[in-house]
Amino acid sequence: MAIKDIEYVTIEVDGKPVSLRKDKPILWGLRDQGFDIPYFCAHKWLDPLGACRMCMVKVSWNGKPMPKLQISCAITPAEGMSVETRVDEVLTARREQLEFHLINHPLECPVCDKGGECMLQDQTYEHGCGEGRYTENKKVRSDRQMNAYIQINYKRCIHCKRCVGFTDEIDNSHLLKMVSRGAESWIESYPTSDDLPYFSGNVIDICPVGALTATNYRFTMGRPWEQELTASVASLDSTGTNIWLNGRLGHVARIIPRENEAVDVGMLDDATRFSWESIDDPSRLRKALVHDNGETRSVKLAMAQELLAEKLSAILEEHPSDSVGVIAGGNRTTEEYMSLRHFATRVLDTRWYAFGEDLAGPEGMSEVVLDALLSGATSIEHILAASTILTIGTDLWEEAPVLGLRANVEVRKRHRRLVNLRSHGSKADDFATYIDYGYGNLLRTVRSATNALLGSGARTPEGDRLADSLRQVGDDCAILYGSEVWRDPQAREVIVAIQDLRDAIRRANPDCAVYSNAVYPSANSAGALLAGWFTKFGRPGSGKESCGGIGKVLKAAADGQLKALFICDYDTLSRYPDRQLVEKALKATGLTVYAGSFGNPTSTHCSFHLPLGTWAHFDGTVVSLEWRVQKRRRGQIDSVAPSLSELVNGISGDMQRGFLGTTEDMYSQLRHNLEFWPRDEFGKFPYKGVLVTPRAKLNANRSAVSELPAEYGAGAGELVVIPKSFLYNDRDLLANSPVFGKVAMPFHAFMNPADMQAQGISDGDTVAIGGITLTAKERDWVRSGSVVVNDFCHTAPANSAGGPGFTSAGIKKASLAGSGA
Amino acid sequence: MAKGNPILMNGIRHECITPVSALDNEIGIRSLADYESKARYVPDGKPGGYRAIQHVLNNMSPEQVIDEVKASGLRGKGGAGFPTGLKWSFVPKDHPGPKYLAINGDEGEPGTFKDRYIMEDCPHRLIEGAMIAMHAIGAEQTYCYIRGEFYDSLRLLDDAVKECYAKGYLGDNVFGTGKRMHFQVHTGAGAYICGEETSMLSSIEGSRGHPKMKPPFPAIEGVFRKPTIINNVESIACAPAIIDAGAGWFTARGTEKSPGIKIVSVSGCVRNPGWWEIEYGTPIGVIVNELAGGLLPGRKLKGLIPGGSSCPVIKGEAAYDVPFDYEGCVAGGSMLGSAAMIVLDDSIDMVGVMRNFSKFYAHESCGKCTPCREGTRWMLQIHQRILDGGGTMEDLDLLIDIINGIEAKSFCPLGDAAAWPVRSAVERFPEDYIAWIEKSSRFNALKENGNGSASPAGSEEAAEVEAS
Ligand SMILES: Cc1cc2nc3c(=O)[nH]c(=O)nc-3n(C[C@H](O)[C@H](O)[C@H](O)COP(=O)(O)O)c2cc1C
Ligand code: SF4
Ligand code: SF4
Ligand code: FES
């Protein structure tokens, strides 16, 4: 499909020539150009509905007026058209329709949360008639909870049905429906008991009045005009969704979408939206904790810092280099990663530093893999415009929700093709071509598809099916790959094999553009890559190179090579796929330090727990999966804990090793080191971010491999355990938001009905998988022969599912023992 | 004239003449129905059932069928009077996937009772018509959407369809020609809006019966997003007659712009309510006085609605001279609509009639668009208040303002349908409203305060009221 040039046509509006997009209803273009046409039911995401009748204008064709007024939300411009927006007939019609809208509306703007940002309020002020003539009884109906997040106030509803349109057309959840008829009709919700809402919060934004409000916001967080808005970027996934972070009186008031038409078009996922409470969570760590001889002391950060500096200096005196391990988690800014790497390489003089959310598997990153990761990436706009979208081992809905949502909409509404190579079903199954590769056989399937496309080498039926679906991809094809690749023990090979597949698709479809983007496991994995956390990047001389992977760091620690382990914001115990290795590493290392905003299993295992501010507290850049560099800005909220840069600067100072540099310094270094980095100044960074094309001078000669690895499968009586990245995983940010306590998070063993029947397990039974017990849930999207569990959670650590000897990175058969509840 | 079942009207028992063709010929719709033995509607048997479709299948191309129907000038009988042959020609010929015929048997318009008799008395006529239409538009499937309350129509039409399948008239090999033609009867749940064509399609799809945006028009993208032709039961049932007797037979009857025959259903204050098949252009007086037996003794005509509750009321006996065809009714200040004549004599209070109409439309408004959803309810509330003794003179202006906000501004024509009759009542029969308002305590309280002015005709009239 590719992105097409936009066509314009000039029509006459109120006597003036106006140029408008040919493919869009005139309402949008005219409003953008300052014609104040009121509207309620139309929305840029939705098909025109024509329900509210506010947007009527007078239309003539070649001077001949049409007999009726026309709704501008539904007509597209064409040659010979002229439009009147301010003639009496139109103004009267607006007043009439507004009067109808208001007859049942309560006069409660002063206590309504929408007051100040309400379309009805604004438009009544602009176009209304000042007084009402309705003296009959108004309709009433009492408020009701629509799902865990949303409450409806029926009296305020103006029946525009935008909310229904969203749940039908956009997120396909069919959560909201209009029931009954005529003036008696109302909006009813039909939540499915098991599925969590993923995008429901968007209906709050698009409700033009205060009918739909957020349960954790209504009546408590003040009025919109009292809030200070900060342009920031969502922190739970690598889409780079833009948000407003609203602060009031030093606290977070809410998170709402900030429209960036190139990224999110104003959509936001529920997890990000409602996670704001965690930022101010009173249980968040504000002082340092020192665990000493089984005793925990809460001390001032400065004291803990001094103590730590002393201990680190002592270690370095004895073992001057490569004696400390440093691990960084994926939700910090690129500048923080720069500081921490300086701390690791300059102060601690170690090469044992690595990124928590692994990309390349236990053997670590190499230049060939890095090259494969960087090549072929494109923008979200191009991905969504592609005629074929191929996902490999990623459930976009969970791993990059807004991108996933937008892709689903494109596929359903604009008839794009979606091909999913996956290990279990997803929400896209209704409209996607999907190929089950059988968990553990990703490399085998990708290589075999390449072989099939090239017509040489060994093949498998799954590979053939994938190849068949890729023989005619249209103008362009966008490949997206994610969590199942990162978790594969052969991740390095898979990443490279995907590039081979990309070449093969291009060979099979001459003139076709083929892109490939990684869906990263965390919000700023890409930033960490650029800051040199995986392998050298950019100009030489920027310090000691990383050992290449967290697996190596942990192994070195477990082997007793490391004297200290410094872990930043990465719950290693819960999240690293091999829990036993982490336990060993922590036990074998004398000094363990955890720096992070929240307490978790790892922090309690460490001798020091130092507080950090959250993502919302500091300025800094993050890099998204489309390589868009964006700036997260500090919210108008009080912070009581330092940023990672401030913390390591402090420790370095206490160790008499000097100052590593401010955030701005780090930014300048990035700009200096990477020639593709945006040229903008830190203080004047563009609000919508800057798309970059990362290039690294790499020594990467890739040669296609066509051999297939052996087939992987479960033995008799066993099931393959598939760890899955859920949006609602037990992340610190979610676990500490009270509103999420009300939604049941899916820490379950999701099983195929046939398997459950065969094993005599019923829905809700407790099952043991290796070392953990989980509640069995019957789901038909799970493939028979496998069981899907969360890839991590605090309470039932899925990474210990295999019990002792769990060595491969995530693929594990486990015998299941069902025990009736 | 055969006598049929008596029906209840206004609480009085009326002898209802069962419908009989006023044209007294073999070809009109009614004349082929046969209560006693539907089985006689067989090829070559008397009176010639399924002759037309066999002729069509063996000798006529789809284009020829469409041309014949175009030549007959057949206009849709569902209300709008759109030329049927022209509508059929809108279906894209080279469309690859399936196409559908959807027959509208919702018959929700108050006052209309014609389609149910076709479905009950001569269902085979309808099925044959559907087959001709399917041939013409290249469809293999018909959905016939029947109003939820019509249990008998459903049962009888369904029996007839089963009979056709058993005999091989319908199925995968129609009359041995190898053509596929299927006929599915579908019931609604009793919503007037589901008679509107796009709502009907939504309802067939299993969705909520809300009207949809046009374009795309159903002929391009209809049920299940496939090209779909929608016709009223009566329009479809006319097709066999046109094929059998030729377009010329049709154009020889009626007027130039409204050729052919039409079933009119007459109800209200007449001696013999019922339905008749007439030629277009027959004066309304003939229908009321000769066919329906005239008014009750001593009564005078107060108003007449020619086309069902959605049409404006024509005032007084002038209505008798209006020719009953599309153009004549419009010239007479109303519309032909679904040809459901409602006769109102001088015992009838217009405010009460309009309260009932408003109640119907407020109940049947689907709720999609604001003016109709809110406006119909508001109109009902005002009428109710006037009847409850709470009216004021301002209410008449207010009603007209509300109607201005609904008319031509609602999403689908239901809003217009709700507004037109009330407008005609307020404008043509203001005396009925004023009579109620003068009795109202609110009005009198305002008057005592020297505040009872602002009648619709201006303050002089109010002054007169005060003086009297
Ligand atoms: C509110 C509304 C109700 C309608 N109800 C009916 C109905 O009950 N039966 C019918 O045949 N047409 C009804 N129509 C007209 C249909 O929309 C459509 O025009 C008709 O079925 C087309 O068939 P025709 O061309 O054969 O007349 C209704 C239209 C509106 C706007
Ligand atoms: S709840 Fe809001 S969005 Fe939904 S119909 Fe009512 S006013 Fe519109
Ligand atoms: S006019 Fe509007 S509310 Fe009334 S039936 Fe049509 S779409 Fe529904
Ligand atoms: S915005 Fe056009 S009808 Fe509602």
Three-point CA angle A125, A131, A137, nearest 5°: 115
Q: Look at the block and give the residue holding tokens 């602009």.
A: A126
Sheet holding A690-691, edge to edge: A620-623, A628-632, A690-691
| pLDDT attached to residue B408 | 95
CB-CB under 8 Å, B364 with A100: no
> A380 CA distance to ligand 3 centroid (A)?
39
> Alpha-carbon distance B380 to B364, whole Å?
12
| pLDDT attached to residue B11 | 31
| pLDDT attached to residue B416 | 97
Three-point CA angle B120, B125, B128, nearest 5°: 130
CB-CB under 8 Å, B370 with A97: yes
> Alpha-carbon distance B4 to A814, whole Å?
78
> Alpha-carbon distance A549 to A349, whole Å?
17
pLDDT beyond 90 at A580: no
Percent of chain A clearing pLDDT 70 (strictly above) = 93
pLDDT beyond 70 at A105: yes
The domain limits of chain B are 24-251, 261-345, 350-467
Percent of chain B clearing pLDDT 70 (strictly above) = 86
| pLDDT attached to residue A303 | 93
Q: What residue owns the CA closest to ligand 2's atom 3?
A: A207
CB-CB under 8 Å, B208 with A101: no
| pLDDT attached to residue A470 | 95
What's the 3-state SS for A90-155? Answer: HHHHHHHHHHHHHCCCCCCHHHCCCCCCCHHHHHHHHHCCCCCCCCCCCCCCCCEECCCCEEECHH
Does residue A470 come out as left (phi exceeding 0), alpha (psi in the -120 to 50 range) or beta?
Answer: alpha
Q: Which residue has the higher pLDDT, A224 or B461?
A: A224
pLDDT tens digits, one per residue of B222-277: 999 999 999 999 999 989 888 888 898 889 888 999 998 888 999 999 999 988 88
CB-CB under 8 Å, A100 with B382: no
From the CA of B180, how many Å to the nearest CA of chain A? 30
pLDDT tens digits, one per residue of A200-215: 999 999 999 999 999 9
| pLDDT attached to residue A771 | 67
| pLDDT attached to residue A811 | 40
| pLDDT attached to residue A146 | 93
Q: Look at the block and give the residue holding tokens 């374009």.
A: B215
Q: Is the CB of B267 under 6 A from ligand 3?
A: no
**Is residue A261 within 8 angstroms of chain B, CB to CB?**
no
Q: Which residue has the higher pLDDT, A373 or A542?
A: A373
| pLDDT attached to residue A730 | 66
- The answer to whether residues B265 and B339 touch, using CB atoms and an 8 Å cutoff, is yes
- The answer to whether residues A96 and B401 touch, using CB atoms and an 8 Å cutoff, is yes
User: What's the N-to-C CA distance of chain A in angstroms?
Assistant: 53
DSSP B322: S
Between helices B413-428 and B350-364, what is the axis angle to 10°? 170
- Interface list for B 349-378 with A (CB within 8 A): 362-371, 373-378
pLDDT beyond 60 at A808: no
Question: Which protein residues are within 6 Å of ligand 1, measured from CB?
Answer: B 76-80, 82, 84, 104, 106-109, 192-193, 195-197, 230-232, 235, 412-414, 417
Sheet holding A417-422, edge to edge: A433-436, A417-422, A388-392, A476-481, A513-518
Q: Look at the block and give the residue holding tokens 């209906």.
A: A203
pLDDT tens digits, one per residue of A156-193: 999 999 999 999 999 999 999 999 999 999 999 998 86
Provide the mean pLDDT of chain B.
86
Q: Which residue has the higher pLDDT, B467 or B164?
A: B164
User: What's the N-to-C CA distance of chain B in angstroms?
Assistant: 53
pLDDT tens digits, one per residue of A590-624: 999 999 988 888 998 999 999 999 999 999 999 99
List the structure tokens of A513.
């553009």
**Is residue B417 within 8 angstroms of chain A, CB to CB?**
no
pLDDT tens digits, one per residue of B381-412: 999 999 999 999 999 999 999 999 999 999 99
| pLDDT attached to residue A607 | 93
Three-point CA angle B31, B148, B339, nearest 5°: 45
CA distances from B209 to A40, A128, B143, B146, B193 (A): 22, 32, 16, 14, 7
pLDDT beyond 50 at B452: no
pLDDT beyond 60 at B464: no
**Burial profile A549-574: b = 16 or more Cβ within 10 angstroms, e = fewer:** bbbbbbbbbbeebbbbbbbbbbbbbb
pLDDT beyond 80 at A573: yes
List the structure tokens of A236.
């739970």
> Alpha-carbon distance A659 to B163, whole Å?
94
Average pLDDT over residues B181-186: 96
Would you tell me how many other CB atoms lie within 10 Å of the CB of residue A163? 27
Average pLDDT over residues A556-567: 96
Q: Which residue has the higher pLDDT, A567 or A736?
A: A567
Lowest mean pLDDT segment, chosen from A278-292, A365-379, A501-515: A278-292
pLDDT beyond 90 at A821: no
| pLDDT attached to residue B220 | 95
Burial (CB < 10 A; 0-12, 13-18, 19+), residue A219, is exposed
What's the 3-state SS for A751-793? Answer: ECHHHHHHHCCCCCCEEEECCEEEEEEECCCCCCCEEEEECCC
Same fold, B24-251 and B350-467: no
Binned at pLDDT 50, 70 and 90, residue B21 comes out as very low
> Is the previous residue joined to A362 through a cis bond, with omega within 30 degrees of 0?
no
Residues in A touching B405 (Cβ below 8 Å): 93, 96-97, 99-100
Binned at pLDDT 50, 70 and 90, residue A222 comes out as confident
- Please, which residues bridge with residue A812 across strands? A721
pLDDT beyond 90 at A500: yes
Residues in B touching A67 (Cβ below 8 Å): 408
pLDDT tens digits, one per residue of B145-183: 999 999 999 999 999 999 899 988 999 999 999 999 999
| pLDDT attached to residue B34 | 41
| pLDDT attached to residue B20 | 41
Would you tell me how many other CB atoms lie within 10 Å of the CB of residue A16? 9
pLDDT beyond 80 at A517: yes
Three-point CA angle A677, A682, A687, nearest 5°: 85
| pLDDT attached to residue A612 | 93
* Residues near A689 by beta carbon (within 8 Å), at least 6 away in sequence: A233, A240, A242, A260, A263, A624, A628, A629, A630, A631
Nearest to B371 among A53, A104, A180 (CB): A53
| pLDDT attached to residue A131 | 83
Q: Walk me through the domains of chain A, giving residue ranges and CATH numbers.
A: 8-100 (3.10.20.740), 138-271 (3.30.70.20), 293-357+523-563+576-588+617-691 (3.40.50.740), 367-518 (3.40.228.10), 719-819 (2.40.40.20)
CB-CB under 8 Å, A158 with B367: no
Phi, psi of A789, deg, nearest 5: -125, 165
Residues in A touching B371 (Cβ below 8 Å): 53, 96-97, 100
Residues in A touching B409 (Cβ below 8 Å): 53, 56, 68-69, 93, 96-97
DSSP string, A523-579: TTHHHHHHTTSSS--SSS-SSSPP-S-HHHHHHHHHTT--SEEEEES--HHHHSS-H
**Domain B24-251 superfamily per CATH:** NADH-ubiquinone oxidoreductase 51kDa subunit (3.40.50.11540)
Lowest mean pLDDT segment, chosen from A350-364, B417-431, B448-462: B448-462
| pLDDT attached to residue A795 | 64
pLDDT tens digits, one per residue of A343-363: 999 999 999 999 999 898 888
- The answer to whether residues B64 and B85 touch, using CB atoms and an 8 Å cutoff, is no
CATH topology classification for B350-467: de novo design (two linked rop proteins) (1.20.1440)
| pLDDT attached to residue A816 | 54
Strand segments, DSSP code E, in A423-512 are: 433-436, 476-481
Q: If one looks up domain B261-345 in CATH, what number appears?
A: 3.10.20.600
pLDDT beyond 50 at A112: yes
Q: Which residue has the higher pLDDT, A768 or A416?
A: A416
> Alpha-carbon distance A189 to A191, whole Å?
6
**Is residue A99 within 8 angstroms of chain B, CB to CB?**
yes
ipTM of the complex: 0.89
Nearest to A182 among B208, B213, B365 (CB): B365
| pLDDT attached to residue A337 | 95
Lowest mean pLDDT segment, chosen from A119-128, A677-686, A704-713, B321-330: A704-713
From the CA of B140, how many Å to the nearest CA of chain A? 26
Helices (H), B252-388: 284-286, 326-331, 350-364, 370-387
| pLDDT attached to residue B277 | 83
> Alpha-carbon distance A478 to A390, whole Å?
6
Strand segments, DSSP code E, in A558-651 are: 564-568, 591-596, 608-611, 620-623, 628-632
Helix (H, G, I), strand (E, B) or coil at B325: coil
- Stretch (H or E) spanning B157: helix B151-167
**Ligand 4 pocket mutation pick from A30, A49, A206 by most atoms within 8 angstroms of CB:** A49
Quick one: which of A83, A78, A29, A32 has its CA closest to A56?
A83
Binned at pLDDT 50, 70 and 90, residue A306 comes out as very high
| pLDDT attached to residue B47 | 52
- The answer to whether residues A663 and A335 touch, using CB atoms and an 8 Å cutoff, is yes
List the structure tokens of A394.
């990623």
List the structure tokens of A771.
């070392």
List the structure tokens of A745.
């998070």
Q: Look at the block and give the residue holding tokens 């279906």.
A: B91
pLDDT beyond 80 at B137: yes
HSE-CB of A563 using CA atoms within 13 angstroms: 15
